[in-house]
Structure 1
Amino acid sequence: MRENSGIRGVKSAARTVALLELLAARGDRPARLDELAGELGVPRSSMYQLLQTLIACGWVRSDTTGSLYGIGIRALHTGTSYLDSDPHVRTARPHLDEASRVLGETIHLARLDGPNVVYLATRESHEYPRTISRVGRRIPAHAGALGKALLAERIDDGLPLPEGPWEALTENTHTGRPTLLADLTAVRARGYSVEREETVAGIAGFGFALRYDSPANDAISCSVPVERLGEEHVRRIVAVMEETRERIENALSPAPGAPDWR
């Protein structure tokens, strides 16, 4: 949870947000009351009351025994509203469609969120199957094309990353600052990021920061099975994605009176 310096937090609100984020992070692993109380350092009785309140509101769900808890459907409603109300996502969607159609590959839009990137939209390739939608999922920013494209927009001593070593998603993931910084230098010189099997084995990626913010908070990428990569296809991917980036940026000049979201 982000902190706003100079503003005193509301304890109950902070506790509620921490609980929802913990349940969301567990994915398909439901939690027991004692686990949640222990993880958040909350008395068992207080945690039970909070869970029951959130169940009644639809933010948390429980199993038929009432002993297992998971994130509720209201979280989906809120997440969908966030995507539908965001002008950047709305504007980018048709351009993602076109890039995926032209290239026959999977195209992503993601946003930097602290040390992670969160997927906002995905257009799947029809050439190879993927069984899980990435929208709403997050990955460490140090681990792939989207994150590296956005980290390269920032100065090296201002990267929003924790102290290493970092999590390795594959044997090719950067886990230390020296190798990542060398990669980011290359990204700045090239104008886009490249990753080979840093997040998923067998998949390469090309990431392009969208510079309608400074520094950029959003990026698009093209994911490709490494077996499909060849010099000509790489050149085509870069050309199409650079054109897609330009079209999205040109379409997103600020509208008069529009909120300037932080």
Structure 2
Amino acid sequence: MQYVPDQSAGPEPVEAGGVRSVKSAERTIAVLEHLSATKDPCTLREVTTALGLPRASGYALLTTLVQTGWVETDGTGRYRLGIRALRAGESYVERDDVVKRVQPVMDALHADLGETIHLARLDGAEVVYLATHISRHSLAVVSRPGRRLPCWATGLGKAILAGRPWEEVDALLPETLEARTVHTITDRAAFRAELEEIRRRGHAVDEQESTIGLRCFAVALDFGAGPNEALSCSIPMVRLDPQREEVIVAALRRARDRIVR
């Protein structure tokens, strides 16, 4: 996330798109989102450079966030999200109506298939994992709640996008569809054709587009206002054959019907 410095003078709330906003709050959110999006801890300079913040402001924000537990520092001048961010994320998932509605069905689906089951939600051009049941097999795929992936490179994201008009999808996607693997669809015309095929077929398939050696089947969950969540089953290619694929897809469709009914 790139923070756009507010040009207004002083700490008073300013008008931004018709909504009153507070500069310090915007900066705090920008810092937390930046730390959540980076794999490794960041230095003060990395944070302020990425967000376009004055060094003094960035230091003051990080110091306050460390004192309140939202950010942690390892003592070498590097920062990462703190324990309070984890607690807030867990609270969000625990109180989410869709998660509570889907969880019993996920339990049954996992017991039936024994493979990794995911529930995810579209957030901008990414899917965010909300809940996961890990496969009983030793060779398993693990995507923890909170993980984000590009929507165009996942079965979950493609299932959701297939339920939306192409004009909306086109506006949501970034100009360049970056590849996660050699199988990721990065051509816009090809991706539009893929979504049309998903609509016809009724489910999405991730053909090693996010992780090599992994196939993922997904169905969108439409509660009446267009899909924003999807349910999936991920399975290593070594355990997959046509008959197993039919079993997985049929189970996902039954689960979807039970959830949205």
TM over 0.5: yes
Match 2:243 to one of 219, 226, 232: 232
Match 2:89 to one of 76, 79, 82: 79
Counterpart residue number, 2:108? 98
Q: Residue type of the partner of 2:36?
A: A
Q: Which runs of 4+ in 1 moved over 6 A?
A: none
Residue 130 of structure 1 deviates from its aligned partner by 4.1
Residue 12 of structure 1 deviates from its aligned partner by 1.1
Counterpart residue number, 1:26? 38
Counterpart residue number, 2:134? 124
Distance verdict in 2 for CA 1:58–1:213, change over 3 Å: farther
SS in 2 for 1:209: strand
Residue 5 of structure 1 deviates from its aligned partner by 4.3
Counterpart residue number, 2:149? 139
Residue 246 of structure 1 deviates from its aligned partner by 1.0
- For residues 235 and 173 of structure 2, the distance between their equivalents in structure 1, rounded to whole angstroms, comes to 26
Percent identity, please: 46
Distance verdict in 2 for CA 1:213–1:49, change over 3 Å: farther
- For residues 69 and 54 of structure 1, the distance between their equivalents in structure 2, rounded to whole angstroms, comes to 10
CA contact (8 A) 2:120 2:129 kept: yes
Residue 132 of structure 1 deviates from its aligned partner by 4.7
Q: Residue type of the partner of 2:185?
A: H
Structure 1 unaligned segments of length 5 or more: list them. Answer: 251-262
Give the 5 Å matches for 1:101-180: 101-130=111-140, 132-159=142-169, 160-164=172-176, 166-180=177-191
Q: Residue type of the partner of 1:42?
A: L
Aligned pairs, number: 245
Residues 181-220 of structure 1, C-alpha deviations (whole Å, 9 max, x = no match): 0100000001111121000000001110001142110100
Distance verdict in 2 for CA 1:83–1:22, change over 3 Å: same
Counterpart residue number, 1:17? 29
- For residues 106 and 84 of structure 1, the distance between their equivalents in structure 2, rounded to whole angstroms, comes to 20
TM-score normalised per structure 1: 0.90
Q: Residue type of the partner of 1:14?
A: E
Q: Residue type of the partner of 2:146?
A: G
RMSD, aligned CA: 1.5
Structure 2 unaligned segments of length 5 or more: list them. Answer: 2-15
TM-score normalised per structure 2: 0.90
Counterpart residue number, 1:189? 200
- For residues 133 and 154 of structure 1, the distance between their equivalents in structure 2, rounded to whole angstroms, comes to 25
Q: Residue type of the partner of 2:68?
A: C
